[in-house]
Structure formats: structure tokens, C-alpha cells
């Protein structure tokens, strides 16, 4: 099959893979392959890291009709070169499978690249207000009624430590508009008084079982909404226009291409996200394999049959069927939130033992057990039958569980499902697992429960040091972000960025996974390793973001490694990430991203 030019940026038709004159690259002296053996593309003279069962390294590979037809030596690939074959001399560069991000929120990531964002910066109250006021000043034509929705607020790193924001804080802004500010973790919103009025939220607004509407001593909402409590506000948010949603989806895909992401899971899918990516797919502009996990609301979970029926309707509307070379849409997963966040002030992660509190005085802290442990959002007698119903229907649970108690209950539910459906191939995932009871480490492998970890959290920083260490105490903090312990227990760890909770920087995350050391730019307070947990071996960290994440998404038979017969999802890098000093992994650049044999991204100058 011949390759032809593609006029659209990011399109996935059969574009020339490398844009280099074929005549200059075809092997001298090689005999032309017959039509039945000629490849569309041959890559040669590279460091081809396959991520196969033996972590094999090859020199060359050949692609035909979107699939890999040969992996091996420079000599062995010669028969695949025909008159129309595009041949790239990699000059020793590293090739590896495309990255698979097993947990992100892409429409939100795209929105953050377009709208008013605080960029997850550590801000004082005055800086927080200045940034928002600048967005208001830049859109004065939308006074007095249009909502201002602000993203990128990192609540846990406001300065000085312990600083927070609420409606009273936002009252200092010069505006009559309703304002909602979203924390990067996706678990908190803060709104001004005008937003509360528009939403009809008052002292009489009922509480919810899976979150909090934070209130003052008199029971009046303070403007802070945590976890499921956010629904009281989001229910009245203006729905982005179709045009805006498409822009968000395209912005997200552009960011993914540059990072080398060839598949992703939208880990808390909204109807807006599904419709946007479906429209991009129909326009022929989808450049990564898109998986979607609609959220199961805690209030609906007691009726598993109705949950499954709704999921089947969504699947019928959007799922495009079996994998093919061109990227498409898959609806196979379902999202369950078991708890919230470890960090204060929310501390809604469900723990076995209480969060600690400081009963000392300034300069002389005295940390003791408090009276809060958090509580799982789903009771076992609701979660367990739900899990069985999902498995029977072929939907795979993707469970947010941050605290040790929530993780334990999620594992219990997976065990109930495994016992009820011993022959079902259901890929159950537990996302985040930041704190795990050591007694539960080996259950992940035994139950084939996939811990989907965000490696960038396994390093010292404001979230982990200021927001977690003293509140957990030394024993629990020693095992925060337990990738090393889970690896030692043979868990099949997959990677998920949680973008836009964090910025999309897969290579920095991989570096964090193999070093667990802080960013030098943050200063001495955050230097060194996070705790006593061991870093991951470099090859395993790469496997987590390729083949293991492919397994999580149930596509490991077709992607995740560079093997004959698999789809040609691969990336070319500017350095060998297996051999460079570990501190250089974060500055890795993707030179080319290929999905199903089609080049969807090429760095300038390559």
C-alpha cells in the first residue's frame, strides 16, 4: 500500500511516515520485495526496545497495513523493502511502543490549555486573586451574568502552608459574575456568593453521602464543595458549546501526540467528553486510541441492573467495535469513586486509623491522632453486587481508591467478583492506591487487580511533604505511594497521569518512578527521596506505561509491545531512556509518534 500526503494537522490517513526521499534511504544492493512481502514502512539501524516477554532489543522493524510484520535485524528486514517502501535510517535512535496512559481526564486537560488557569502554581491569597482578576479583566464584556470557570487551582500548595480559599476570599474580586474555581485534583470546587445564589445553594441544601458541602458553624455553605458535593454546583454550570468541546478534545490530542501517547483512558467520562471525541473521530482527526469509563453515581449503585443498562446504552452509542489500525473509541470501563483525597483540608480518603492533627503551638507542634478517618463512598453490600453485575455484563471496573481502607474494600469487592465469575476475563483496576495496608500488597497480584499509579506523586513536594507527612505519621508515610512494595509483590502496575490534576509530562513521571527524588528547583525542603519505598526498575517503569497499561485496557494482544502481528503504535525518542542518567529521563523528547502505522506527530527538524 502506498503512502500519500495528508493535508490536515494530526490526521490519521496514510501519510508519508518520514518525509525523506525514498531513493536515498533504500538499502543498496537489496532486491525488491514482492507485493506480498513489501512493507509500507521500514525502520532500520535503531535501538528497537520491544517490551516483549524478554525485553528484547532489535535493530529494525517493518510495517504493513498498520501492523508490524517484522522485528529483527537490519539484514533480516531487507526482504520487506519494495519499490514503494518508505525506509527510515534511525541512526541508532530508540524506538519503543507508544505510551498508554491508563488514567487521565482529557477534556479537562484540553480545557485547561484553553481557558482561565492558575497553572497549579503555589500562590498566596493575593496572587490567587490577582490571577483570577486578570481573567475577569480580560473578559469584561461578559459582565455581569456569564460564569467564569477557573481551572488549575492547586489547593494543597497555597502559600503559606495551610492557606485556603472560600466564598469570602473570592468576595474581594471586582465582579458581579458567578465564579467557580476547580482544584487540580478534580475533587474540590470553590465558588463565590453569586455562584451560590445562581445554583440555589443555601443552608437548606441537603448533604450528600459521597462528599461534602463545607459549612460554617451556623450550617451555611462556605463556598467549598468536595468530592460528590460538587454536583450541587456543577449541575448549573453552562454546558460548553459543541465548538468549544471540539477545541478542547483537539487540544488534548495535540498534547498527547507530542508526549508520545497512542492510547488513553478517560477515567471519569462525561457525556460532553464522549460526544466531543466521537465528533473528532468522525471527522477523521482522532490520533490516539480512546477508552472511556462513565462514572457510576453512588446514588444509583444500589440498582446494578439499571447501571448496566445505562452503560450498555452508552456503549451502543459510542463504541466503534474491535481494534483496527486507525484509532477509534472503546466503551468498556466503568468508574467508581471509593473515596477522595489524602491531603488537607479535604482529607476525604478513607483510612483505617485517624488522620493526625497538630495540638501544639507555633514552633512546637504536637501531632496526635484526631477523630477523622474518612469513609468509603460505597458500602460493601452495595459495591459487591455492583462489581459482579459489571463483570457479568463485560464492563471493567476502574476504582478510585486513595486511602488504605478504601483500597482494602475495593480489593474485597474484586475478590467477590472473582469468586462469582471465576472464568471471566475482567480487568479490574484500582487507581491511585496512595496508601495501602501492607497486608494487602500481595492481594493485587493474587486477584489480578491492577494498581494504576501516578509515578510523579512518588517524590517529595508540597503535596507529599506539607500535605501528607505529618498528617499520616512516620509509619504510614514510610509507605506512601507504595510502587516499590507492589512491584516486589508482583503486582501488574500500570501508569496513569491523572492529567490535568498534574500537567501532562509522562517523561518526568517516569523519572520520578525510577528515582523517587524531588525536583531540585523546589529547594532543599523537597530534596532527596520521598520515603523508604524503593524506586521501580527502569524497564518496569516503561512496561507500566506500555504493555501493562495495554493489559489494563484489554488491548495487550494488539498493542503495548513491538511484536509481529501487533498494531504499529510506536514512538521514536531523542535519547535511549534505558541508558541515559536517570536525571535526564525527564528531558526526553518524542521525535515521532506513530499510531496504526500512520505518523500523527513529528518534531520539528526530524
pLDDT at 122 over 90: no
Report the pLDDT value the prediction gives residue 359, as an integer from 0 to 100.
Answer: 95
- Whether 50 is in a domain gets the answer yes
**Does 34 have pLDDT greater than 80?**
no
Together in a domain, 118 and 214: yes
pLDDT band at 381 (very low <50, low <70, confident <90, very high): very high
CATH code (residue 85): 2.30.40.10
44 and 157 housed in the same domain: no
Nearest to 173 by CA among 134, 120, 224: 134
Average pLDDT over residues 466-490: 96
Name the one residue in this structure whose C-alpha cell is 521525535. 591
pLDDT at 192: 97
pLDDT, one tens digit per residue, over 402-444 is 999 999 999 999 999 999 999 999 999 999 999 999 999 999 9
Q: Same domain, yes or no, for 126 and 198? A: yes
CATH number at residue 155: 3.10.310.70
Q: What local confidence, expressed as pLDDT, does residue 156 receive?
A: 78
What would the grid cell of residue 40 be? 509500507
pTM for the predicted model, two decimal places: 0.85
Report which of 237, 226, 224 is spatially closest to residue 168, judged by C-alpha positions: 224
Q: At what angle do helices 304-318 and 271-282 cross, to 10 degrees?
A: 20
Residue 36 maps to a domain: yes
Q: Is the pLDDT of residue 457 over 70?
A: yes
Average the pLDDT over each of 234-238, 447-451, 509-513, 554-558 and give the range with the smallest value: 234-238
Q: Is residue 196 part of a domain?
A: yes
- Sheet arrangement for strand 261-269: 99-104, 261-269, 289-294, 329-331
Do 59 and 134 belong together in one domain? no
Mean pLDDT, residues 140-151 taken together: 95
Q: List pLDDT tens digits, range 185-210.
A: 778 999 999 999 999 999 999 998 88
Average pLDDT over residues 498-511: 94
What is the count of structural domains for the chain?
2
Average pLDDT over residues 554-577: 98
Whether residue 91 sits in one domain with residue 128: no
Domain end, chosen from 234, 257, 275, is at: 234
Sheet bearing 494-495, strands edge to edge: 333-337, 396-401, 428-432, 449-453, 494-495
Please state the three-class secondary structure of 438-485 as a single string. HHHHHHHHHCCEEEEECHHHCCCCHHHHHHHHHHHCHHHHCCCCCHHH
Say yes or no to pLDDT of 19 above 60: no
Domain's final residue, options 234, 249, 271: 234
Q: 103, 452 in Cβ contact below 8 A?
A: yes
What CA–CA distance (Å, rounded) separates 110 from 288?
A: 14
Residue 185, domain member (yes or no): yes
pLDDT confidence of residue 32: 54
144 found inside a domain? yes
87 with 148, same domain: the answer is: no
Task: Report the percentage of the chain scoring pLDDT > 90.
Answer: 83
| 114 and 173 co-located in one domain | yes
Does 389 map to a domain? no
Residue 201 within any structural domain of the chain: yes
Residue range 212-224: average pLDDT?
A: 96
**117 and 223 in a common domain:** yes
Range of the domain at 130: 109-234
Q: How confident is the model at residue 525 (pLDDT cuts 50, 70, 90)?
A: confident
pLDDT at 311: 98
Region 381-406: mean pLDDT is 98
Mean pLDDT over the full length of the chain: 92
- Same-domain pairing of 74 and 118: no
Q: Domain end: 204, 234, 264, which one?
A: 234
- Specify the pLDDT at position 476: 97
Asked if residue 17 is part of any domain, the answer here is no
- φ and ψ at residue 329, rounded to 5 degrees: -115, 140
**Do 123 and 223 have their domain in common?**
yes
Residues facing residue 211 across a β-bridge? 227
Q: Please give the span between the terminal C-alpha atoms of the chain, in angstroms, as a whole number.
A: 24
Do 137 and 114 lie in a common domain? yes
185 and 148 together in one domain: yes
User: Which residues 6+ apart lie within 8 Å of 100 measured at CB?
Assistant: 261, 262, 263, 264, 494, 495, 545, 546, 549, 550, 552, 553, 559, 560
Residue closest to 500 by CA, chosen among 187, 236, 286, 233: 187
* 35 confidence band (pLDDT: 50, 70, 90): low
Q: What is the pLDDT of residue 2?
A: 28
Amino acid at each position: 500500500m502506498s503512502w500519500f500526503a495528508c493535508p490536515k494537522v494530526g490526521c490519521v490517513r496514510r501519510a508519508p511516515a518520514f518525509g525523506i526521499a525514498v531513493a536515498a534511504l533504500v538499502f543498496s544492493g537489496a532486491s525488491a520485495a514482492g507485493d506480498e512481502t513489501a512493507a509500507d514502512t521500514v525502520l532500520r539501524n535503531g535501538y528497537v526496545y520491544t517490551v516483549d516477554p524478554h525485553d528484547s532489543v532489535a535493530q529494525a522493524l517493518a510495517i504493513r497495513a498498520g501492523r508490524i510484520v517484522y522485528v529483527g535485524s537490519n539484514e533480516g528486514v531487507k526482504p520487506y523493502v519494495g519499490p514503494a517502501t518508505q525506509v527510515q535510517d534511525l541512526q541508532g535512535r530508540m524506538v519503543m511502543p507508544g505510551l498508554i496512559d491508563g488514567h487521565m481526564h482529557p477534556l479537562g486537560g484540553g480545557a485547561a490549555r484553553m481557558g482561565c488557569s492558575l497553572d497549579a502554581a503555589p500562590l498566596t491569597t493575593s496572587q490567587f486573586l490577582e490571577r483570577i482578576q486578570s481573567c475577569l479583566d480580560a473578559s469584561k464584556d461578559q459582565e455581569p451574568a456569564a460564569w467564569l470557570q477557573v481551572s488549575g487551582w492547586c489547593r494543597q500548595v497555597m502559600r503559606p502552608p495551610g492557606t485556603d480559599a472560600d466564598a469570602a476570599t473570592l468576595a474581594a474580586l471586582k465582579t458581579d459574575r458567578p465564579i467557580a474555581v476547580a482544584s487540580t485534583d478534580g475533587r474540590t470546587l470553590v465558588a463565590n456568593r453569586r455562584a451560590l445564589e445562581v445554583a440555589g445553594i443555601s443552608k437548606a441544601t441537603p448533604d450528600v453521602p459521597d462528599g461534602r458541602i463545607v459549612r460554617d458553624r451556623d450550617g451555611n455553605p462556605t463556598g467549598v464543595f468536595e468530592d460528590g458535593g460538587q454536583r450541587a454546583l456543577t449541575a448549573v454550570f453552562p454546558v460548553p458549546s459543541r465548538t468549544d468541546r471540539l477545541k478542547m478534545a483537539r487540544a488534548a490530542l495535540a498534547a498527547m501526540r507530542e508526549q508520545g501517547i497512542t492510547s488513553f483512558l478517560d477515567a471519569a467520562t462525561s457525556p460532553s467528553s464522549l460526544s466531543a471525541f466521537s465528533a473528532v473521530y468522525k471527522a477523521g482527526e482522532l490520533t490516539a486510541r480512546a477508552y472511556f469509563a462513565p462514572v457510576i453515581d453512588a446514588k444509583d449503585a444500589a440498582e446494578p441492573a439499571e447501571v448496566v443498562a445505562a452503560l450498555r446504552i452508552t456503549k451502543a452509542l459510542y463504541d466503534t467495535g474491535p481494534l483496527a489500525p486507525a484509532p477509534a473509541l472503546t466503551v468498556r470501563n466503568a468508574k467508581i469513586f471509593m473515596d477522595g483525597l489524602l491531603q488537607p483540608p479535604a482529607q476525604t480518603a478513607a483510612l483505617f486509623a485517624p488522620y493526625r492533627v497538630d495540638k501544639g503551638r507555633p514552633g512546637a507542634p504536637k501531632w496526635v491522632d484526631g477523630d477523622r478517618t474518612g469513609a468509603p463512598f460505597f458500602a460493601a453490600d452495595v459495591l459487591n453486587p455492583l462489581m459482579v453485575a459489571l463483570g457479568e455484563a463485560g464492563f471493567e471496573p476502574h476504582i478510585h481508591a486513595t486511602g488504605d481502607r478504601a483500597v482494602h474494600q475495593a480489593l474485597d469487592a474484586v475478590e467477590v467478583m472473582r469468586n462469582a465469575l471465576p472464568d471471566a476475563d475482567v480487568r479490574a483496576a484500582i487507581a491511585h492506591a496512595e496508601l495501602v495496608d501492607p497486608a494487602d500488597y500481595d492481594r493485587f497480584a493474587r486477584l489480578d487487580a491492577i494498581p494504576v499509579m501516578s509515578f510523579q506523586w512518588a517524590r517529595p513536594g508540597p503535596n507529599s511533604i506539607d500535605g501528607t507527612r505529618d498528617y499520616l505519621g512516620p509509619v504510614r508515610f514510610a509507605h506512601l505511594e507504595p510502587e516499590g512494595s507492589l512491584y516486589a509483590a508482583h503486582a501488574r502496575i500500570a501508569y496513569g497521569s491523572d492529567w490535568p490534576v498534574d500537567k501532562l509530562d509522562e517523561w518526568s513521571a517516569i523519572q520520578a518512578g525510577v528515582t523517587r527524588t524531588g525536583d531540585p528547583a523546589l529547594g532543599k525542603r523537597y530534596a532527596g527521596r520521598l520515603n523508604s519505598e524503593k524506586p521501580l526498575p527502569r524497564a518496569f517503569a516503561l512496561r507500566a506505561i506500555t504493555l501493562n497499561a495495554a493489559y489494563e485496557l484489554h488491548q495487550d494482544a494488539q498493542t503495548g509491545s513491538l511484536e509481529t502481528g501487533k498494531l504499529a503504535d510506536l514512538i521514536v525518542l531523542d535519547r535511549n531512556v534505558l541508558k541515559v542518567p536517570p536525571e535526564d529521563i525527564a528531558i526526553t523528547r518524542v521525535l515521532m509518534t506513530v499510531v496504526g502505522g500512520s505518523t500523527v506527530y513529528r518534531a520539528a527538524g526530524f
